Amino acid sequence: MSRKMQDRLAGFEPRFSPMAYKAALFGMLIAAFAIPLGLAAIPYIEFFNDMAVQPKGKAQGLYGTTIGQPHLVDRMPPSGSLPMDFMPYAIAGNDVKAAERAGETLRNPLKPTMKVLERGQKLFHDYCRTCHGSQGQGDGPIVGPGLFPAPPSLHTDTARSFKDGRIFHVITRGQNAMPSYADKLNTEDRWAVIHFLRALQRSLHPTPEDLKE
């Protein structure tokens, strides 16, 4: 190597330090991962997430106050509003006169098809059997000495003379020790139970026409 070349190499100084090269390589490595991940995440980034940061509260609790007025989580529905699939029932009261009025004005809108009877049987066993018994004779598993008072049999002449509307009213409003079942059985379910009850009554008290069939 010539003397001139040796002198030039001896006086050469790199423009960037080795540390700068390492930093640049490290930065490119980070960018190789960060940029693709960032581009993939952009469609899922919520820039306006007001729904996510709104006040929240536990059931039957509070979620803040405004000028000293607490905000209830379980708010009362607006006046006049009705739940979905809710059928308003106009006959008020659970006394005998109200039940008789229902018997004169209401008619069972369902036909006693096999599907309706099977539905009524299932609901009767689920909700009515515990007190009335599987045959409707007032001997359910939760009634008796030291338990709940036994209801009257559904096969008495009086019970069998009740019109469908009257039975519907009793199921809806309750009567004596029996509470209302309107929150457990919707309108059609109550009518289906009545159809099954009629079939149950006829099974223990068949008419001559039934026996011919």
**How many structural domains does the chain have?**
1
CA distances from 53 to 32, 41, 43, 75 (A): 33, 20, 20, 20
Examine residue 45 and state whether it is found in any structural domain, yes or no: no
Average pLDDT, the chain: 85
Measured distance CA(151)–CA(161) in Å, rounded? 17
Single-letter amino acid, residue 166: R
Residue with the bigger pLDDT between 150 and 3: it is: 150
CA separation, residue 89 to residues 8, 17, 41, 171, 200 (Å)? 106, 88, 54, 12, 27
47 within some domain: no
140 inside domain: yes
Arithmetic mean of pLDDT, 103-132: 95
- Closest to 94 measured CA to CA, from 178, 162, 155: 178
Q: What are the structure tokens assigned to 143, written together?
A: 């009634």
Rounded Cα distance, 9 and 6, in Å: 5
Residue 71 or 213, more confident: 71
What does the pLDDT average to over 146-165?
93
Contact 101, 91 (CB under 8 A): yes
Q: What is the pLDDT of residue 9?
A: 65
Are 195 and 109 spatial neighbours (Cβ–Cβ below 8 Å)?
no
pLDDT at 209 over 80: no
User: Is position 116 within any domain?
Assistant: yes
pTM, entire model: 0.62
The percent of residues above 90 in pLDDT, for the chain, comes to 47
Assess if residue 89 is contained within a domain: no
3-state secondary structure (DSSP) of residue 72: strand
Please answer whether residues 110 and 116 qualify as being in contact, where contact means their C-beta atoms are separated by less than 8 angstroms: yes
Structural domain for 150, as ranges: 96-212
User: Is 201 contained in some domain?
Assistant: yes
pLDDT at 163 over 70: yes
What are 45-84's pLDDT values in tens digits? 666 766 766 767 777 777 777 777 777 777 777 888 877 7
Q: Please report whether residue 154 resides in a domain.
A: yes
Q: Do 75 and 61 meet the contact criterion of CB atoms below 8 Å apart?
A: no
In angstroms, the CA 174 to CA 38 distance is 64
Q: What angle, 0 to 180 degrees and rounded to 10, lies between the N-to-C axes of helices 96-105 and 164-173?
A: 130
Return the CATH number at 125.
Answer: 1.10.760.10
Indicate whether 26 belongs to any domain.
no
